[in-house]
């Protein structure tokens, strides 16, 4: 159960997760049954996150959508900004496409290593684990 061990080790180092008591016995059983597939699908993510952030191995995502323990979804290609004027959003998309080859604001999924930042973007806060090969842009700030 490497995935559960990974999560438990991180929980010990990140009090917010420990205080949430996010893993009940039935959740551990649920993940145990799917652990191999999750590790396989998210191999690029787990490799990329090694040493990526000194405070957390996790990415968090806030959402108003309630899910069960696990959910798959694809990034949208028509995302509208939540906290930014559309013209500035479009300007950033132009610059991101020019520099990185894709419109990160419109086509990306926003996640953060800071639980409290993600929690402010919806009624629910989830651990976010991207699967497959993906592109990402991040900032130390």
What tens digit of pLDDT does each residue of 55-90 get? Answer: 566 788 888 888 776 777 777 777 788 889 999 999
3-state secondary structure 14-41: CHHHHHHCCCCHHHHHHHHHHHHHHHHH
Q: Give pTM, 2 decimals.
A: 0.71
């Amino acid at each position: 159960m490497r995935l559960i061990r990974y999560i438990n080790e991180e929980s010990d180092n990140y009090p917010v997760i420990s205080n949430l008591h996010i893993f009940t016995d039935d959740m551990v059983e649920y993940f145990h049954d799917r652990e191999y597939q999750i590790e396989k699908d998210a191999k690029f993510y787990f490799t990329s996150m090694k040493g990526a952030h000194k405070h957390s191995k996790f990415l968090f995502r806030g959402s108003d959508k309630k899910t069960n323990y696990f959910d798959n979804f694809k990034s949208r290609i028509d995302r509208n900004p939540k906290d930014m004027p559309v013209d500035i959003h479009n300007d950033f998309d132009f610059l991101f496409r020019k520099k990185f080859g894709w419109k990160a604001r419109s086509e990306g999924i926003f996640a953060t290593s800071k639980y409290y930042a993600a929690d402010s973007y919806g009624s629910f806060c989830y651990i976010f684990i991207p699967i497959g090969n993906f592109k990402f842009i991040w900032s130390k700030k």
